[in-house]
Amino acid sequence: MKILFDHVMPFSLAHGGFQQQLAQTKSALERAGVEVDYVRWWDATQRGDIIHFVGRPMPDYVEFAHGQGCKVVIGELLTATGSRSRRQLALQKFSTNILRKILPGTFATRMAWDSYRLADACIALTPWEAHLMNYLFDAPKERVHVVPNGVEEIFLDSQKSVRGQWLVCTATITERKRVLELAQAAVRAQTPLWIIGRAYSESDVYAQKVFALAKQYPQIIRYEGAISDRARLAQIYREARGFVLLSGMESLSLSALEAAACECPLLLSDLPWARSAFGNTANYSPLTNSVETTSRILRKFYDAAPSLQPPPKPATWDEVARQLKEIYTRLLSTSR
């Protein structure tokens, strides 16, 4: 069995949790005895049994792969789509059905709606995303599988520690993660907040506002950039008072899973991905532009955090790899 991973965005252009997810999945599959490689677009001699496309390929891509006897698995992160309201999703479905009828076929091809129907399997990170793959894109239910992200053993094996005064937020400094809005609320609520992560560009205007706020309120906002030492990061989660991520859009946050593995109380945006992954074991904040509202919720969480029950332990990457290997094996033993 040989699996080829493919994606459209080079890691050098956009860092983040996705890069970690793909690298950890590849390593875990290799430990499980699966041969894995990245698609080399320039190599006409490269062959594989299954292409696992992390994203949404064009329908022609899927059909060409089938023509070469290669099956295709789609693993798109429905970050923006999965964060929309049910009303917005219903409107999206209605609009898509109309556009399919009135626009040229080339338009539908570029949107790649049919790729879900053509793929041999679809991988969703949460039950919510699995529902959307079927509801919006007509992916056959029997071909949709829920396989969550995993967590490294270094987080799961971390030792208990005395929790301190700092809430921690681990995220890329960008508008989608709403780090600035969280920092503003922390200043208003007087809840110490440690921001861990870096911007896509140090000159980014949004990121500069976060950096300026940290300089203005050093006793409340702590910012030191990204932390690559995984052992130190696990220790930080163990010593944090709580973990906060108030993203406007999210799929299944690796940072939240790592914090959960370290038994850190969670405060997350009240979005379907979070409810689907953590249920009533996390605390939630509505998406709002009101600093006053967010600060009030943040203060309540800060005060309650020491007495909150920890979230359940997430899966390891090796467990994730075993699930994927089972799916790949079934695909290779059956025909469409």
d(CA 93, CA 297): 34
pLDDT of residue 13: 67
Question: What CA–CA distances, in Å, run from 144 to 121, 134, 255, 327?
Answer: 6, 8, 25, 10
Domains of the chain: residue spans and CATH: 2-150+317-332 (3.40.50.2000), 153-307 (3.40.50.2000)
Helix or strand (DSSP H, E) at 243: strand 242-245
Question: Strand 221-223 vs strand 193-196: parallel, antiparallel, or unpaired?
Answer: parallel
- Distance of CA 262 to CAs 3, 21, 159, 238, 254, Å? 32, 18, 8, 6, 13
- The residue type found at 195 is I
Say what the pLDDT of residue 107 is.
Answer: 61
Q: Round to whole Å and give the CA distance between 138 and 130.
A: 11
Scored b (16 or more CB within 10 A) or e, 205-224 reads ebbeebbebbeebeebbbbe
Dist. CA 58–CA 282, nearest whole Å? 37
pTM across the whole model: 0.90
Q: What is the DSSP letter of 151?
A: B
Cβ pair 127, 146 in contact under 8 A: yes
Angle, helices 230-239/254-261, rounded to nearest 10 degrees: 70
Give Cβ neighbours of residue 145 (< 8 Å, ≥ 6 apart). Answer: 121, 122, 123, 124, 130, 323, 327
Tens of pLDDT along the chain (336 residues) come to: 999 999 887 776 655 667 888 899 999 999 999 999 999 999 999 999 999 999 999 999 999 999 999 999 999 999 899 998 889 999 998 888 887 777 766 666 667 778 999 999 999 999 999 999 999 999 999 999 999 999 999 999 999 999 999 999 999 999 999 999 999 999 999 999 999 998 988 889 999 999 999 999 999 999 988 998 999 999 999 999 999 999 999 989 999 999 999 999 999 999 999 999 999 999 999 999 999 999 999 999 999 999 999 999 999 999 999 999 999 999 999 876
Q: Do residues 76 and 56 touch, judged by C-beta distance below 8 A?
A: yes
pLDDT score for 85 = 87
